[in-house]
Amino acid sequence: MRALLDASLESINEVLLGKKYQVRLALACLIAGGHLLIEDLPGMGKTTLSQTLARVLGLSFQRIQFTSDLLPSDILGTSVFDKDSGHFEFHQGPIFAELVLADEINRATPKSQSALLEAMEEGQVTIEGATRPLPSPFFVIATQNPSHHSGTFALPESQLDRFLMRLSLGYPAHAAEKALLMGEARRELLPRLPAVFDHAQLQAVQAEVRAVRVTDALVDYVLRLVEATRNQPQFAWGLSPRGSLALVAAARAWALLAGRTYVIPEDVQAVLPAVASHRLRERADTAGQGGAALVQWLLHEVPVL
Amino acid sequence: MNVPRAGLTWLLIGQALLLVPLWWQLPPWLLLFWLVCSAWRIQVYRMRARVPGRGLRTAMVVLAAVAVFFSSGRSFGLETAAALVVAAFLLKLLELNTRRDAWVLLLLGLFCQVVAYLFDASLPWALYSVLPLAALLAAMVGLQGGQGERLGPPLRRAAGLLLQAVPLALLLFVCFPRIAPLWSLPLNSGQARTGLADVVAPGDIATLAQSPELAFRVSFDGPPPARRQLYWRAFTLERFDGRRWQQGGLSRFQAVQPWQPVGEPWRYRVIQEPTDKPWLFALDVARSTAPDVQQTQDYRLQRRRPVDQPLYYSVESWPQVVRDPQLAPALRQQNLQLPATGDPRMRAWASDMARRYPESEALVAAMLQRYHEQDYHYSLRPATLGSDSIDGFFFDTRRGFCAHFAGAMTFALRAAGIPARMVVGYQGGELNPAGNYFTVRQYDAHAWVEYWRQGQGWRSVDPTFAVAPQRIDQGLAEALGADEPFLQGSPFSMLRYRDLAWLNTLRLGWENLNYGWERWVLGYQQAQQSELLLRWFKGWAIWVLPTAGTLTVLLLGLAVLRPWRRQVDRVLRQFLRFERLLGWHGLTRAPGEGPHAFAERAAQQLPGSAQAIHTFAQAYTRQRYAGEAAAPATLAVQLNDVRRSLAGRTGPQRKPLP
Amino acid sequence: MRAALVARLQRWQDRRAPAAAEVQLDHSRVYIVPSRAGIAYAATLLLILLAAINYQNSMAYGLVFTLGSLFIVAILHTYRNLSGLRVGSDAPQAVFAGEQARFIVHLQSQGKAHYAIAVGWGVHTAHTTDVLPAQAQRLELALPTSARGWLAAPRLRLSTGFPLGLLRAWSWLRSGQRVLVYPCPLAGELPTQHASASTAELAGLQALGQGTEDFLGLKPYQPGDAWHRLNWKAWSRGGPLLVKQFGEARGQDLALDYLALEGGREQRLSLLCHWVLRLAEQQRPFAFSLPGLHLPADCGVAHREACLRALALFEGHR
């Protein structure tokens, strides 16, 4: 199992150069069974990352480009009258895939956004009165532009909370960009990429993540972190219980990726920025810049022992 | 630094409470003084008055000192000292500006409490003294500020602290070595005490019989003797001046003739109320091991110092001992002494009797028979007697109290040539059914006669028994006639209402409590302490205080600090040691730095120890985070490896290399 | 002798308790001794004991034992009142020399109440406060500043005599915090000097800085931008917060140059400080140079801060 995880990391890193930390986080997010939000400027490799993940994990992939005129039915699917059979026939929307890339989610209206987010939460969709299960596993990777770009509808806090992690890929490092420019187009590598996992193996990995050990001492640290967000004055609000559960789940996946069967505080610290920064906001910050600075404060000041 | 309101208020309350038991002992003008000072202080606090200036304060100090001097009657006793302490306590109130002043006042208050205990340490006042003490402690808490300005929290906290201090205080009380007074201090309270006096006129004891005050309490080891055997000797009266009886000079100071115990003794313990006189009370023939007590010529027990506080002592009495089988000539002469003239009828009657009954025993029997058969009355209101008081009583009025009967009999025996003397003390006592002890009160005061016979020594005889046997068998209340109500002068004494059963039970219960208090608390001094400790702990007595004291403090510490609340597990403690060790080498861990990351950094900076550091850190992480069994010992060994590998480095390096 | 002893003691304390931004007081940091009142109390107890012995008075014995036990109980309670307290501190804001630097100290209880905690630099108490459970106390401690540069927070002393005042428990803390002290601004004439010729020409062509005449366009709002230039209309329609930019063609930007000034080092720095503040207030761009440092002409908060910081920390040119 470890070999599979290492191999998949290696494959993804081949495609996405110089982003080892983010790639590892993204993989941790998926094997922890969470949805991923990537926030970046256009052209940073968000789509590439999603496609690579889909391929490596052996998942069927669909991409939905969110635009301001996107309707919920464009995501979920619709019934069409079939003249031949004389019945309405349901045409599945793009959401019926194992890995859905919701591109530029903040360009769509809140109505369309919530259609997707409901599907994420429930694992099923209700269309025209009929409940239809989504495939299993089901992952959503949503991308969004930084919220202060014009013409966007920022996701409200309640919806942000549904993403296990938020990542930002950022500009590639000098050497990586050079390699990118010199080498062949990354997208073309994709079709040649072999799937590392099949469904059964993916399920096994997910089960293994849940079995990673979390001791009392570690839970105490997590609680100290969470309580700090709730008590310290600079936090506009604290982490929700869902947030603390997400933190532990992500730390488990991270520990497994590091080849451990138990979580150490460093695992928590590694995933904390990705898990917590979109759930926190500084009191003084009215522009909604997010809680990156707060997370740094947590990492430095909350005692580990 | 101002005095916080809560502190000031509690201080004033504490002062008022403290002074309550002292008002009975101190000159009344001090009360006025207190009212003035308190009112002034309160007005200062409300900003309605100014703090008195230095001149005024000095004037008040001088005034108070002069007043104390004059009201003490120019003798410096305990009362004078107490009045001075209290005056200082009151005056300091006017100079209460800073916390330091408040502290002076508080400590003076503690002193006043001691003074109050010296005056009266009986159970009710002792219980009462918890109140001023708690108020003073609340004032201490209030002085610290905090908890707002409310009055409740300081008192609650003070009470809590007081409760927590109780176990250790009890332990110290029982085990702290009691020692004899370092130097002798007269405790001249100057109070008039009710009790037996050195000189007895016939009517004195009758006056005493009106008083229900407590004289002493006795508890016997084993079954107590019969009531008619309870003749508590105080002292003897041997000199008669025709009117009053006085103590003989010899019997007061000379030591007793050595005697040997014979037969079975009675063993008992006495708690005696203060009398301001040196004698103790005991049954014949007594011996006491109490320090500082000796037996004088007339077989009384006497102390060097007057009994000025409740005194606890144990006594053994051998009733069968023969006293003075041979009488020294001087003593004989003293016990045959009569005034040169007076009472001619008695003298004539006595010589007549002596002729008729040459045997002294027969003579005594004949006299008792006369008392018994003829018309003699036992009465608290004897008729007034003229100049020949013995004649007047014996032949004319024939109404009298024990001292009359005894006095007349002693006179007659002496006139008949038989050495005789009057003994004064108490007779009987009330047995408390619950506590198995006797309470002897002033109205149990009694006088009887001793005469000497060759070979048989001194023999006791009680003429009162011949007149009114109920007095001896049942007590004074039963012996008095219907026209003479018991305890006429004390209408509120519960003793008057002994017929009400429930009231009597209540009274006996209360007396029982007081007895326990006097015996176990007030009487707990050197002798009783060593006896008790020896009985409980045998030879281990000296270890009790250190051991139990340490244990108590330890338990208290656990209860107060509750270290288990913030327990550091032993695995973590090893890591903290590791951290401290690396701290010596310039590596400090930020609070947010994980153990693994810290070890990584340390290994990079101290490449020589990298191996050992990794080993330790991994073992620690596994034990703490992987659920491995905690093995702090292993960690300690690995930590030692780290220490050893670091030992080679030249000196501690305070700062990380640039 | 005494000073050496004190210094040694402090070094020992520092070793036991290293500097940290947040600490929890425990036995390695809390010291406790009888206060002066406590010593007087002990002396009084001794006197009472003497009275008890000499008068053989059991109640006086009882009193002295009770009060003695209280002393022991008070040791525990006084220690308990201070231990367990969490003390944190925030980095203070930079101030100008001569002003009071304001250090923020947080006191937080770990579940029990702490009463009458005195906080101050050294032995001087600045605040006395209660810290109740689940309630953080924020105290502001002023520290006078005199010279520019970094000023490290002195040792912080937390002490308490609660509950009985018989003992004093205290703890020394080094927060490790420091405050940046800018030079004291000194008003004075600035020898007018312009940025070097080449930049001046270039600047003349560029519309730089925030003039008032020509509308140049919009840019995203950044903290520090003037409020009156906000594009409120667009914002009220739900658009992003934008700032209108105006340009003023300027031929010449002011340059603040240390070397162009006269006088002693501190005097020059103070003068520069004054002008940095003045120009920043007027929103006029200026270049700034110190020996070994040159900041090109700019305006805005960041520029101002960079200049002031450089002034505060300038070490060269004796």
pLDDT digits (tens, 9 = 90+) for B160-211: 999 999 999 999 999 998 888 777 655 555 556 677 877 777 777 777 888 8
Cβ proximity of C158 and C139 under 8 Å: no
Looking at the complex, does the CB of residue B509 fall below 8 Å from at least one CB of chain A?
Answer: no
Q: Would the CB atoms of A287 and C241 count as touching at under 8 Å?
A: yes
User: How far, CA to CA in Å, does A199 sit from each of A97, A204, A217?
Assistant: 13, 9, 34
Which of the other chains make 3 or more beta carbon contacts under 8 angstroms with chain A?
Answer: B, C
Angle at B233 between CA B230 and CA B234, to 5 degrees: 140
Average pLDDT over residues A122-136: 80
Q: Which two tokens stand for residue C196?
A: 């070097």
CA distance A259 to A261: 7
pLDDT over 90 (residue C67): yes
With a cut of 0.85, is the ipTM above it?
no
- Per CB-CB distance under 8 Å, the chain C contacts of A287 are 241
Q: End-to-end alpha-carbon separation of chain B, Å?
A: 50
CB contacts, 8 Å: C158 with chain B: none
Domain annotation covers residue B515: no
Q: Given pLDDT bands bounded at 50, 70 and 90, which one contains residue A285?
A: low
Half-sphere exposure of A218 (CA within 13 A, CB side): 27
All residues at 6 or more sequence positions from C227 whose CB lies less than 8 Å from its CB, including other chains: none
Which residues of chain B fall below pLDDT 50? 651-658
d(CA B651, CA C14): 19
Record: contact C240-A148, CB cut-off 8 A: yes
Interface check A286 vs C, CB under 8 A: no
Other chains touching B, judged by 3 or more CB pairs under 8 Å: A, C
Report if residue B656 sits inside a domain: no
pLDDT value at residue B650 = 52
**Residue carrying structure tokens 């702290």:** B176
Sheet (strand B445-453) strand order: B231-237, B420-427, B445-453, B457-461
Q: Matching CATH topology for A2-200 and A212-301?
A: no
User: Tokens 């990429």 label which residue?
Assistant: A193
Domain match, B117 and B222 both:
no
CA-to-CA dists, residue C60 to B87, B120, B134, C93, C166, angstroms: 21, 11, 16, 59, 21
Please check whether residues B87 and B231 belong to one and the same domain.
Answer: no
> B78-91 and B29-45 helices cross at what angle (nearest 10)?
20
Task: Identify all chain B residues contacting A263, using CB atoms and an 8 Å cutoff.
Answer: 625
Report the gap between the CA of B589 and the closest CA in chain C (Å): 10
Instruction: Note the pLDDT of residue B188.
Output: 54
Give the best residue of C23, C41, C69, C76 to mutate against chain B (max B CB count within 10 A): C69
How far apart are the C-alpha atoms of B598 and B581, rounded to whole Å?
13
Q: For residues A261, A266, A268 and A271, what is the CA-based torsion angle, rounded to 10 degrees?
A: -100
Backbone angles phi, psi at A27, to 5 degrees: -65, -40
B513 occurs within a structural domain:
no
List the beta bridge partners of residue C159.
C118, C170
Instruction: Break chain A into its structural domains and give their ranges.
Output: 2-200, 212-301
- Encoding tokens for residue C191? 């020898």
Phi-psi region of B556 (alpha: psi -120 to 50; beta: other; left: phi over 0): alpha
Note the pLDDT of residue A251. 93
Neighbouring C-beta atoms of residue C97, cutoff 10 Å: 22
- Strands C214-220 and C242-247 turn out to be antiparallel
Which residues form the domain of B393? 204-485+493-501
B426 part of a folded domain? yes
Instruction: Please write the tens of the pLDDT for every residue from C26-38.
Output: 877 889 999 999 9
B635 contact partners, CB below 8 Å, separation of at least 6: B571, B574, B575, B616, B619, B620, B623
What is the widest separation between alpha-carbon atoms in chain C? 105
Domain segments of chain C as ranges = 13-182, 197-209+248-313
Strands (E), B6-51: none
**Tens-digit pLDDT profile for residues A262-273:** 999 999 999 998
**CB within 8 Å: A213 and B597:** no
Q: What is the greatest pairwise CA distance in chain A?
A: 70
**Percentage of chain C modeled with pLDDT above 70:** 78
Residue with tokens 């020394």: C172
Token couple for B446: 């009694």
pLDDT digits (tens, 9 = 90+) for A13-38: 888 777 888 888 988 998 888 888 88
Q: Cβ–Cβ contacts within 10 Å for residue B641, how many? A: 15
Q: How far is C-alpha C266 from the chain's CA centre? A: 23
Range A48-52 average pLDDT: 85
The pLDDT assigned to A62 comes to: 86
Q: Which residue of chain B has the CA closest to A266? A: B594
Q: Which residues of B are catalytic?
A: 402, 446, 462
Q: Which C-chain residues 24-83 have CB contacts (< 8 A) with chain B?
A: 37, 40-41, 44, 47-48, 50-63, 65-70, 72-74, 76-77, 79-80, 83
The answer to whether residues B379 and B307 belong to one domain is: yes
Report the pLDDT averaged over residues C200-213. 42
Phi-psi category of residue B59: left, alpha or beta, with phi > 0 → left and psi -120 to 50 → alpha: alpha
The 10 Å Cβ neighbour count of residue C146 is 9
Q: How far apart are CA B335 and CA B449, in angstroms?
A: 12
B536 exposed, middle or buried (CB, 10 Å; 0-12, 13-18, 19+)? exposed
Is the CATH code 1.10.260.40 the one for domain A212-301? no
CA distance A202 to A60: 13
How much is the pLDDT for A289?
Answer: 54
A30: its two tokens: 């998926």
Instruction: Specify the higher pLDDT residue, C148 or C198.
Output: C148
Nearest partner of B616 among B595, B639, B598, B633, judged by Cα: B639
Instruction: State chain A's mean pLDDT as an integer.
Output: 82
- Quote the minimal CA–CA distance from A64 to chain C in Å: 25
Distance set, CA B247 to CA B293, B297, C7 (Å): 19, 12, 78
Topology of the domain covering A2-200: Rossmann fold (3.40.50)
